[in-house]
Structure 1
Amino acid sequence: MALTPRLSGQVAARAHHSGAARFVKRVAPFFAIGEVSGGPLLIASLIALVLVNSPLGAGYERIWDTDLRFSYGGEIIAMPLAEWVNDALMPLFFLIIGTEVKREFSKGSLSSVKTAVLPVAGAIGGLVVPIGIYLAFNLGKPTQHGWGVVAAMDTAFSLAIVAMFTSRLPPAVRAVLLAFAAIDDVFGLLVIAIAYTETLSVAFLLLAAAGYVGILVLLRLGWVASIAYVLLGCAVWIGVLGSGVHPTIAGVAIGLLLPTSSRLSEQRFVERVQRPVERLRRAQHVATTADDDAAAERGRDEAQSQLGYIHEMAAATDEPAERLVRILTPWVSYLVLPLFALSNVRIHLSAELIGESLRSPLALGIVTGLVIGKPVGFFAATWAAAAIGAARLPEGVTWRMIVGIGAVAGIGFTISLFIAELAFARSPGTEIAALAILSASLIAGLFGYLTLWSATAAAGGHDQVAAATE
């Protein structure tokens, strides 16, 4: 899914006679327009790291800490720019995640019960084991409450690494990773909602619930116009934000509502547009051949009317969930996630910070929990579920690929940084946690890449043996 088949073929052909094209083929999944990609996020993270540690660092951070205010009557909403990015833009990222996981569970590779159980079991293992490892280092210490940092993974980076093997891995690998990521991130968001929410406003929660029910009612009625859904979605976001729960929950919740089937099948579309196409042909003929200007005008009007009908019928064949993902993905990949990195990556690198991190149980708990806890927890839980017959591997997926999925799940960036900010509130622990998250992400990304590479090599070898014996 990272590249269209035609573009993938073009890149592969160029790679035969161009070293640069071979490099582009490798990095293209990190900048794919068709899905949430990690390349812009990585570049923005590096830029932020350089700026924060440059002479411009203090001024750069002040920009993101500047309040942006909105007022209406006597009501004033004021938050730093960085918080606006986290609270107003990041829910769009999680809207995509919620939407895509619903598609996979409703009609994708995880639509059967046993294949759906697999990522659910993995997500439970990928949550319990890393938290247990983190607490083994930090239980009874002031950093104990930061256990949520190892609860979630970075979907953009992990999907980008899997996409590097898109032509050599079965599609179900991406589906399992996506489902695992979505469930894992929901767990992470629940951790935020439960463990890091200090106050809870019932009135705002009721507003969010009312907006959510409103969306359900409109879907039940078959309402088509999008403006009503946008307004109700904003009501859900405002309600969740005002309640004290992190508003990214709103994005996932709304994404899970979007229909994954079209209002009109392709067969029904063909049946319904046959007559309008004939009318369009006749109207166009009248518009171009009539001697009477009035008749020609009527012909043009009739042609536009039939085109409008055909356009609406064509739009009805599009899945709402797929259409939303298609619209939002470029904005999320190239604007939302880079802004998140630019506003949240604030690691002041120094010998003192590195030395303190190497001795810190906080850093050790984060790195060990993400790099070791995630793959071990994911593999152990999925293997146990398969062993008792509750789950099965999707077609073409091997246990080595499962280890690779668990490994890239150790890339804990977006949600981990979110939770670190909440848990340590820009105290010295925030920088130690951020450096540990960055280090763990690099190690887990390399481990995941090598594991998936070896899995594809092994699968290729098996295919060659099978072909030779036929």
Structure 2
Amino acid sequence: MALSPRLSGKVAARAHHSRAAGLLKRAAPFFAIGEVSGGPLLIAALIALILVNSPFGSSWERLWDTELRFSYGARAIALPLAEWVNDALMPLFFLIIGTEVKREFSKGSLSTLRTAVLPVAGAIGGLVVPIGIYVAFNMGTDTQHGWGVVAAMDTAFSLAIVAMFTARLPGAVRSVLLAFAAIDDVFGLLVIAVAYTDSVDWVFLLVAAAGYAGILLLLRLGWVAAIGYVLLGVSIWVGVLGSGVHPTIAGVAIGLLLPTTSRLSEERFAQRVQRPVERLRAAQARAERSDDEAETEQQRERAQSELGYIHEMAAATDEPAERLVRTLTPWVSYLVLPLFALSNVRIHLSGELIAEALHSPLALGIVAGLVIGKPVGFFAATWIATLIGAARLPEGVTWRMIVGIGGVAGIGFTISLFIAELAFQGAEGTEIAAFGILIASVLSAVFGYAVLWSAATPATRAED
């Protein structure tokens, strides 16, 4: 997540003339359009906290509990608005995550086996150690089954913090964090599918599998039109939703399918459009010289035909994965994630809640699992993997940066709140868990930022 070079330079220049611009430069990564950004999510979470704890809190919660029903004949599906956000919109966020991680593993800084092993090992450590800490706090209690709350991280917030050091940290830091986040989130979704799914409807699961096979077939045939992929993607979502498994896993699964190479190289593009460009110029010239209206119209139509060919050839140079991420990212950053926060953050702050959380194994297990377990697990697992020669650090990445990545990985928001809703059916347990997630996220953000700041290279005069 980073600003474009031109926009970054523009913001840096303004900072010389305005203190406010300097502050905006630091905040800009949280609102970057080109990547999934955490700024709108943070603002929405704060708004939700204020509204829930205001005199309008009960009305606000009833709004999101309002049932939205769709029916066709005897078949119907009815869910509260909050669940529609979780089930219908959040898969788009995980579609981006699945796509991004495939790009990193196929052609990014994690494309070699040993660099790819690094985030995989880290994700395993970042899963096992936090769960172990949580279970140690909650062993033998009614909240023991909530161990999945510490299984995953919040990608948007963690990437936003790393983006604050774009010019001062190696690009591989973001790649490692992104891969770790994607694998960590997949583990979290598998936890949802295995531990918090009461029953599975195999008929619907077969529908999802058929849709997945259909997309594979279209890719094999070189199918270009988007409508086929969209319809099959919807069938996968419907199948996963109807099966009882959380539909966000459908987003990751589809994202892993998207091609990360273009259908046409730039060199081949230049060769193929050379003659159409010449014909376009000739048609335009004849249309301008002609006094015959019919001939002029014919030449204009011929020029439009050549333009259509050139446009399609240009589109073929674009990677499907990159194009999808570019299209969805603004919607996810500024609509999907804020709606998730507005509908799911329901923490009623009070002295009683804080006192109860301080003595609750549930809250303490969540805070210790995320704040301590994530960085310790990630660091220990990656260190062991490099020690035995199975993995290596990407170029420019230091062990201090690895600790920083593990630190921001403790920011648990989206998936953690998801799992808290599933694990604790009672409002009290969910609220204590959400409060623990909030505290852990703040502490992890501060710790991760501090470590990355200490590991970053000093800013140059031009960047100050």
Identify the TM-score tier after normalising by the shorter chain: over 0.9
Question: Which residue of structure 1 lines up, in the alignment, with residue 53 of structure 2?
Answer: 53
Match of 1:3, SS state, is coil
Mapped partners of 1:22, 1:242: distance in 2: 49
Mapped partners of 1:192, 1:116: distance in 2: 25
User: When the two structures are superposed, what TM-score results if normalisation uses the length of structure 1?
Assistant: 0.97
- Residue identity in the other structure for 1:390: A
Q: How many residues align?
A: 461
Give the Å deviation of 1:440: 0.4
Question: Which residue of structure 2 lines up, in the alignment, with residue 466 of structure 1?
Answer: none
Q: Deviations over 1:425-462 (max 9, x none)?
A: 24311000000000000000000000000001xx449x
Mapped partners of 1:449, 1:427: distance in 2: 33
Q: Deviations over 1:398-444 (max 9, x none)?
A: 00000000000000000000000000024311000000000000000
- Residue identity in the other structure for 2:194: I
Question: Which residue of structure 2 lines up, in the alignment, with residue 69 of structure 1?
Answer: 69
Mapped partners of 2:59, 2:287: distance in 1: 64
Question: Which residue of structure 2 lines up, in the alignment, with residue 279 of structure 1?
Answer: 279
Mapped partners of 2:84, 2:272: distance in 1: 46
Question: Which residue of structure 2 lines up, in the alignment, with residue 390 of structure 1?
Answer: 390
- Residue identity in the other structure for 1:205: L
Question: Which residue of structure 1 lines up, in the alignment, with residue 129 of structure 2?
Answer: 129
Mark the CA change 1:190 to 1:55 in structure 2 (over 3 Å): closer, same or farther. same
Q: Which aligned pairs between 1:380-459 and structure 2 lie closer than 5 A? A: 380-456=380-456, 459=457
Q: Deviations over 1:37-80 (max 9, x none)?
A: 00000000000000000000011100000000111111111000
Give the Å deviation of 1:393: 0.3
- Residue identity in the other structure for 2:35: E
Mapped partners of 2:413, 2:184: distance in 1: 13
Mapped partners of 1:285, 1:378: distance in 2: 65
Mapped partners of 1:271, 1:324: distance in 2: 26
Match of 1:76, SS state, is strand
Give the Å deviation of 1:2: 1.4
Match of 2:143, SS state, is helix
Q: Which aligned pairs between 1:11-50 and structure 2 lie closer than 5 A? A: 11-50=11-50
Is the counterpart of residue 86 in structure 1 residue 86 in structure 2? yes
Match of 1:308, SS state, is helix
Mapped partners of 1:183, 1:120: distance in 2: 7
Q: Deviations over 1:266-324 (max 9, x none)?
A: 00000000000000001111222210001000100000000000000000000000000
- Residue identity in the other structure for 1:179: A
Match of 1:142, SS state, is coil
- Residue identity in the other structure for 1:304: Q
Match of 2:411, SS state, is coil
Question: Which residue of structure 1 lines up, in the alignment, with residue 223 of structure 2?
Answer: 223
177-186 or 4-13, which moves further after superposition?
4-13
Mapped partners of 1:399, 1:15: distance in 2: 32
Q: Which runs of 5+ in 2 are unaligned?
A: none
- Residue identity in the other structure for 2:441: S
Match of 2:167, SS state, is coil
Question: Which residue of structure 2 lines up, in the alignment, with residue 243 of structure 1?
Answer: 243
Mapped partners of 1:287, 1:23: distance in 2: 55
Is the counterpart of residue 292 in structure 1 residue 292 in structure 2? yes
Mapped partners of 2:145, 2:290: distance in 1: 79
Mapped partners of 1:293, 1:376: distance in 2: 77
Mapped partners of 1:214, 1:54: distance in 2: 49
Match of 1:61, SS state, is helix
Give the Å deviation of 1:212: 0.2
Question: Which residue of structure 2 lines up, in the alignment, with residue 166 of structure 1?
Answer: 166
Mapped partners of 2:238, 2:288: distance in 1: 53
Is the counterpart of residue 113 in structure 1 residue 113 in structure 2? yes
Q: Which aligned pairs between 1:248-267 and structure 2 lie closer than 5 A? A: 248-267=248-267
- Residue identity in the other structure for 1:26: R
Mapped partners of 2:371, 2:321: distance in 1: 33
Mapped partners of 1:17, 1:381: distance in 2: 46
Question: Which residue of structure 1 lines up, in the alignment, with residue 191 of structure 2?
Answer: 191
Residue identity over aligned pairs, in percent, reads 80
Question: Which residue of structure 2 lines up, in the alignment, with residue 319 of structure 1?
Answer: 319
Provide the alpha-carbon RMSD of the alignment.
1.1
Give the Å deviation of 1:17: 2.1
Question: Which residue of structure 1 lines up, in the alignment, with residue 176 of structure 2?
Answer: 176
Mapped partners of 2:147, 2:210: distance in 1: 33
- Residue identity in the other structure for 2:68: L
Give the Å deviation of 1:16: 1.7
Match of 1:194, SS state, is helix
Q: Deviations over 1:227-280 (max 9, x none)?
A: 000000000000000000000000000000000000000000000000000000
Match of 2:123, SS state, is helix
Question: Which residue of structure 1 lines up, in the alignment, with residue 344 of structure 2?
Answer: 344
Mapped partners of 1:272, 1:17: distance in 2: 49
Mapped partners of 1:309, 1:426: distance in 2: 59
Mapped partners of 2:104, 2:240: distance in 1: 26
Mapped partners of 1:174, 1:394: distance in 2: 11
Give the Å deviation of 1:32: 0.2
213-222 or 420-429, which moves further after superposition?
420-429
- Residue identity in the other structure for 1:200: V
Mapped partners of 2:450, 2:363: distance in 1: 24
Match of 2:258, SS state, is coil
Question: Which residue of structure 1 lines up, in the alignment, with residue 375 of structure 2?
Answer: 375
Question: Which residue of structure 1 lines up, in the alignment, with residue 99 of structure 2?
Answer: 99
- Residue identity in the other structure for 1:272: R
Give the Å deviation of 1:14: 1.3
Q: Deviations over 1:145-198 (max 9, x none)?
A: 000000000000000000000011110000000000000000000000000000
- Residue identity in the other structure for 1:211: G
Mapped partners of 2:354, 2:85: distance in 1: 28
Mapped partners of 1:64, 1:199: distance in 2: 26
- Residue identity in the other structure for 1:352: E
Mapped partners of 1:403, 1:279: distance in 2: 59
